[in-house]
Structure 1
Amino acid sequence: MKKSLALLTAIAALALPMTAQAHRAWLAPTSTVLSGTDAWVGFDAGMSNGVFIPDHAAMGLDGLVITAPDGSRVAPENVMRSRYRSTFDLHLTQRGTYRVANVMGGVVVSYKVDGATRRWRGAEADIAANVPAGATEVTATRSDSRVETFVTLGAPTTEALQPTGEGIELVPVTHPNDLVAGEPATFRLVRDGRPAADLDVTVARGGTRYRDNPEEITVRTGEDGAFTVTWPEPGMYWMNASVRTPANGDQMASTAQYNGVVEVLP
């Protein structure tokens, strides 16, 4: 069991339902660039086949973290959850860029007791207390998920955009609230603080309900984790990257996923 527990210590589980993993998770703001001394922005959050189309399931918001331009945490207002989407409002009272993220992680463990397969999901620190000492065929997978977007009041700033060092994160080279159709934008992906090299990044524009072509773009990160996108048209765009790492000795299997939403202006 000691060896089995060693295999479990690096596993994390998504807070999203496992059935939702085949669907695209998104967190869409009503506006991303605003002016004045204060403003309000609304957000929709859901999982669906087509991005920004609330037709499958609402997103749980237990992992919602809103970082203000000065690095402080801000609470959402008017939080609601309906059948197909969750919604909330954010009152912008500081000038600069806010990072709005739903961050999920934990541990998923599969094991057998008396021949019956069981599963447990929770925090890594709670594994030993929840997996019986006599369990056999113990396997575990660490997973991290981040779903985020960005909004700016006044001039863009970068203090709220610093990576946390957990999971896959977007590190802007081009500011995410300074995107213009027809112009290239460059970002970097990092995983646990290190460059996420050789990852495919899917970029999809919203509005698929009203066109035959999904208009998806796939780009690949370089050795430094950087990738560049030239936006074909204005609109709200969804970006996704994911990675799976198999178990290797005492190193646990792991998965990580990033879902970002940005607005491209004319």
Structure 2
Amino acid sequence: MMNKRFWGLAAVAALAALAAVPASAHRQWMMPSSTVVSGDDVWVTVDAAVSNDLFYFEHQPMRLDAMKAWAPDGTEAAIENKSTGRYRSTFDVRLTQRGTWRIGSATDMLLGSYELNGKTERLPRGTTAANLAERLPAGATNVKTAEANNRNEIFVTVGEPTTGLFKSTGKGIELAPVTHPNDLFSGEAATFQFLLDGKPAAGLPVTVIPGGIRYRDQLGQMDLTTDAEGKVAVTWPEPGMYWLNVTTPQVEREEGEGGAPPPPARRASYVTTLEVLAP
């Protein structure tokens, strides 16, 4: 029979692991079967999920409604063999061009409030610029809105990396790489520039976490901030898959007059998965 000392140590270890990775830290991510491939007609399979432990399926699948893929020449490619299970979604992309492909989703919505019959109400979830008018009840006044954009994307290169897909759309947070995202090596610094609505974004919080957190007691999180040119440098401690998240700063805001919600703030987030190779 195992003694009490063993069980006591096991309990301490379990609590330490839980402390290292908070249960509320649900992270959305995509994991490609490879980020660098060769050939003229190849495929990549992508897993997509939301979980506490990065790249491990244990919470819920990612919805694929807005998922798209773009070839190196900018044309849209098909998302094939889509499937959503209990804990993850999966799909394939056929890579028929040489160069760097982008795979991901971008969602736009409006946050805000309006007044009706002397009360301040919040806009319902899912409100966009296109459906704002139909979401507002008759008689609504003093409508206040702010944009919210969420972008989640990965990059896969066939042969040599290309940069044609990194032209800014001018909306949300976007990556304008100084270092190509498919050309990363452990022990070396990579520099990325991030844009907000098409302009270099200073002061954005950047979080980088290596995968495999389920099997270690330290999260290994790197907390960085973009400089005046929207740039950030990341030195990769070891090979592996990394989750990178960039967001607009969260500002504590007091309620308005009479307990009304404060005016909405511009919000945006960016998520990508990066593969770092041994030099």
TM-score of the pair, normalised by structure 2: 0.80
Alignment match, 2:239: 234
C-alpha separation in 1, matches of 2:204 and 2:101: 26
SS of corresponding position for 1:27:
strand
1:169-201 Cα offsets, whole Å, 9 max, x none, are 111111110101111100000000011101121
C-alpha contact (below 8 Å) 2:58/2:87 kept by paired residues: yes
Distance in 2, matches of 1:193 and 1:168, equals 8
1:152 aligned onto 2:152: no
Which structure shows the higher strand fraction?
1
Please name the residue that 2:276 is paired with: 264
Instruction: Say whether residues 1:201 and 2:206 are aligned partners.
Output: yes
| Secondary structure at 1:188 match in 2 | strand
Q: Which has the higher contact order (CA 8 A, sep 6+)?
A: 1
Residue 168 (structure 2) aligns with = 163
Query: Cα distance, 1:253 vs. partner?
Result: 2.3
Q: What is the identity, as a one-letter code, of the residue corresponding to 2:267?
A: T
User: Given the superposition, is the C-alpha separation of residues 90 and 211 from structure 1 closer, same or farther in structure 2, using an over 3 Å criterion?
Assistant: same
Structure 1, 120-129 or 84-93: larger mean CA deviation: 120-129
SS of 2:133's equivalent in the other structure is helix
Choose which of 31, 56, 61 in structure 1 pairs with 2:59.
56
Once residues 116 and 246 of structure 2 are traced to their aligned partners in structure 1, the CA distance between those partners, rounded to angstroms, is 36
For the residue of structure 1 that corresponds to 2:267, the secondary structure is strand
User: How far is 1:136 from its partner?
Assistant: 5.8
Kept after mapping to 1: 8 A contact 2:112/2:264:
no
Shift of 1:221: 0.6
CA distance in 1, matches of 2:51, 2:250: 25
Equivalent pairs counted in the alignment come to 243
User: Where does 1:1-266 land on structure 2 (aligned, <5 Å)?
Assistant: 23-111=26-114, 113=116, 119-120=123-124, 121-135=126-140, 138-244=143-249, 253-266=265-278
Please identify the structure whose Cα radius of gyration is greater.
2
Distance of aligned partners of 1:112 and 1:82 in 2 relative to their CA distance in 1, 3 Å threshold: farther
What is the CA–CA distance in structure 2 between the aligned matches of 1:141 and 1:152, rounded to whole Å?
Answer: 36
Q: Could you list the runs of 5+ residues in structure 2 that have no partner in the other structure?
A: 1-23, 254-262
Q: Distance in 1 between matches of 2:241 and 2:25?
A: 21
Contact 2:176 2:195 in 1 (8 A): yes
Output the TM-score relative to the length of structure 1: 0.84
Q: For 1:59-109, what per-residue CA distance to the aligned partner results, in whole angstroms no more than 9, with x for missing partners?
A: 112221211111110011100111221110111110110011111112245
In 2, Cα distance between the equivalents of 1:137 and 1:58?
38
